[in-house]
A and B are shown apart, each in its own frame.
Chain A
């Protein structure tokens, strides 16, 4: 049945109205989707609202999309005027159908800037669009823009969590103020939903990291909470490389923040926001917390690797966590000075390690130092933690033991392959190379290409 242009126009305008009326009727719509329905039905609305789900019958989309798409472009080229309400409705429809359409998001940015659109509305539209297109890069980009815009507009000093925290004695337990807390939770929810809709959703998890860096700068409580709340999630999504990377980020951020807290506990006058940190709970508080965090993460990793053989992601996670731990140990044995005086000759060797990139033979010494088996299984860790509980911290020898155990027990060829690759990585990367040194060395790895 051929449709005249007028018929299509009338139909589409009705559909656009129906969609927007649906939102007015039910502000709690939380998901959109296409309903497979190829049969054209002019006398019935293709918009279906069931509970909080908005459906669009698929037959109308091939009329709807080109119509709203072209109308927006005519407006953009100043060939046809659209009033603000029409712009809002049209961009909304357009973006629900095609959230990668950058220009449509930009029109909404402009509407936001001139006060026509409520930013909460756009956050809501983004969330809805993500329910159907959880990866859409342009959607995430728009969300970040709106959040940044809100930060600038709503708070002259910026919505930095540290500034707006409730005053409390200890830095670790600083609570964000309530509005910010709610905004943060909402972001985490949006990210979690999108992560659950598409495996290893790079854009969702990157956004989550961005939120931490821009809306919760250095807030220890948030970092700790995120570490707890994602633990179960990653255990149920073992292949989700992005999810595990997020935990690596959390550990790195926690280690950094806790170390800084430790510094200011030593030197109260240096606290950046002027708060006094006198009366911090323990001495060397961070020296115990950080190893504990790494220990727990390695334990989680071990548990998952043993229970679910053959997941490359888990082995990658292990590499990264061990690397972060290794880095932290090196930095805090060398740099801390009065905090942890060298207690063994191994520590002395480490602290005397030249930071200059001289000959490669220097690295051999480091390797010997870290290989505790050469010193009767003493590691600098057990020596250093005189006060704290003796946790078996991950170290090269214990990691090698772990690999051997896996290789002995395992039935999966993939697991074997990953275990061997991990061992090679321990030998060649931890043993010989530190990518964070200023001039990375071009050392030929001692094994042949896999």
Chain B
């Protein structure tokens, strides 16, 4: 077998960033030796190098039981110091942050601990004249935050505090001639926005205002040879985009257009030896992909194709026993985003301590039942 003289690549730290290895410049050849090499990252994670499997190794003392109370405490206290620098940094997505926090609390049966009135008022004050809703007060409106707002108000059964007709007009106005959706008036196209559009309209019971055929045609044009979907036609398949597109096709009743076996295979190839799921080949596992991938598998009826026990193990290991909450992978810093997707993932895997979650909307099933939404799933 031919081999090349390989320079040893030094260990990149922390686990989630390989920027050091990558910035060596074109003079150096970054090649991993193919002998087994275990090294330790800054946060104490063990990384497998050299065997070429990018993965984490779960330490023996990692959490293995579900610490639901700690997570509820974490979310309830999150953002109570509102002039925190970190809080300001993330204000551009606040509406989504609120949706993540509320949804995970509801899934844990702890929604009452959140400040309902304050949140409803906040959401209302984020609706602009054009009908679109922004991430926070004074920010510009966008489809992403319009969806999060509608999801939040649906959880609270208070959808009518905003002008629903204007929201519908806003969403309808973002559809392009080719059926795609822009994220806002500035025109960026992405299949994520197709999902946001139909999910929003479905929750408002007004799917019929858009050109459905064209919308479907565009999303299908983003289907790739591997059965997956990217952000635009011809883009690389990506688990997040796949979730959006399968969710879209579910809502629009077009799941039969998916090649479930082919896509299911691509999705279950995301599972790594640690049990965690990544979003694309040769990426590290991340708890949020445990949602995007798992929900997609559930939608296309292939959730039994992954090793559920190992995935559950991985998700539980991402908990922080001290602070509560979930991180992207074991040992990293927690945040509400990964906390939601960790808990939602466990729900999809059948944990009975958590309410059943809907794989298309990532909302409690009982909320959707109340609204009367039962999107198709393949079996």
Residues of A within 8 A of B260 (CB): 442
Residues of A within 8 A of B234 (CB): 209, 213, 249, 252
The 8 Å CB contact of B259, one of A65, A138, A145, A435, is A435
> Given contacts A69-B88, A210-B232, A445-B265, are A310 and B26 in contact (CB under 8 A)?
no
Closest to A316 in B: B281
A433→B183 CA distance, assembly (Å): 35
> Given contacts A102-B92, A106-B140, are A200 and B34 in contact (CB under 8 A)?
no
Residues of B within 8 A of A409 (CB): 1
Residues of B in contact (CB 8 Å), total: 67
Interface residue ranges of B229-255 to A (CB < 8 Å)? 230-232, 234-236, 238
Q: Which of A171-179, A219-227, A239-247 contacts the other chain?
A: A239-247
Interface of A is mostly: helix
Residues of B within 8 A of A232 (CB): 26
A252→B219 CA distance, assembly (Å): 20
> B304-322 toward A: CB 8 Å interface, digit per residue (1/0)?
1100000000000000000
Is A328 an interface position by the 8 A CB rule? no
Q: By the criterion CB–CB under 8 Å, are A206 and B262 in contact?
A: no
A57→B3 CA distance, assembly (Å): 46
Q: By the criterion CB–CB under 8 Å, are A433 and B235 in contact?
A: no
A129→B368 CA distance, assembly (Å): 41
Residues of B within 8 A of A444 (CB): 261
Q: By the criterion CB–CB under 8 Å, are A69 and B91 in contact?
A: yes
Residues of A in contact (CB 8 Å), total: 75
A320→B281 CA distance, assembly (Å): 13
> Shortest CB–CB separation between residue B91 and chain A, in angstroms?
7
Residues of B within 8 A of A443 (CB): 261
Is A311 an interface position by the 8 A CB rule? yes
Is A379 an interface position by the 8 A CB rule? no
Q: By the criterion CB–CB under 8 Å, are A197 and B23 in contact?
A: yes
| Chain A CB within 10 A, most for which of B22, B53, B268 | B22
Residues of B within 8 A of A76 (CB): 138-140
Residues of A within 8 A of B269 (CB): 421, 450
Closest to A192 in B: B26
Is A61 an interface position by the 8 A CB rule? yes
The 8 Å CB contact of B235, one of A209, A324, A429, is A209
Residues of B within 8 A of A121 (CB): none
Q: By the criterion CB–CB under 8 Å, are B265 and A145 in contact?
A: no
Residues of A within 8 A of B54 (CB): 239
A74→B139 CA distance, assembly (Å): 10
A77→B126 CA distance, assembly (Å): 11
Interface residue ranges of B1-58 to A (CB < 8 Å)? 1-4, 17-19, 21-23, 25-26, 29-32, 34, 51-54
Q: By the criterion CB–CB under 8 Å, are B34 and A77 in contact?
A: no
Q: By the criterion CB–CB under 8 Å, are B26 and A236 in contact?
A: yes
Interface residue ranges of B130-145 to A (CB < 8 Å)? 134-135, 137-140, 142
Q: Which of B171-179, B220-228, B329-337 contacts the other chain?
A: B220-228
Closest to B258 in A: A440
> Given contacts A145-B187, A206-B231, are A77 and B138 in contact (CB under 8 A)?
yes
> Shortest CB–CB separation between residue B332 and chain A, in angstroms?
17
Residues of A within 8 A of B188 (CB): 141, 144-145
Interface residue ranges of B175-194 to A (CB < 8 Å)? 183, 186-188
A449→B54 CA distance, assembly (Å): 22
Q: By the criterion CB–CB under 8 Å, are A199 and B140 in contact?
A: no
A365→B32 CA distance, assembly (Å): 44
> Shortest CB–CB separation between residue A206 and chain B, in angstroms?
6
Residues of A within 8 A of B18 (CB): 198-199
Closest to B25 in A: A196
Q: By the criterion CB–CB under 8 Å, are B34 and A310 in contact?
A: yes
A252→B231 CA distance, assembly (Å): 18
Is A30 an interface position by the 8 A CB rule? no
Is A9 an interface position by the 8 A CB rule? no
A148→B186 CA distance, assembly (Å): 11
Residues of B within 8 A of A313 (CB): 281-282
> A236-279 toward B: CB 8 Å interface, digit per residue (1/0)?
11111110010001001000000000000000000000000000
Q: A320-B226, A450-B265 are in contact. List 9 more A-B contacts (CB 8 A).
A: A65-B88, A103-B138, A145-B186, A200-B283, A240-B282, A309-B34, A310-B52, A313-B281, A320-B225
Chain A residues in the interface with B (C-beta under 8 A): 61-62, 65-66, 69, 73-74, 76-77, 98, 100-103, 106, 109, 138, 141, 144-145, 148, 196-200, 202, 205-206, 209-210, 213, 232-233, 236-242, 245, 249, 252, 303, 306-313, 316, 319-320, 323-324, 409-410, 412-414, 421, 429, 433, 435-436, 440, 442-445, 449-450
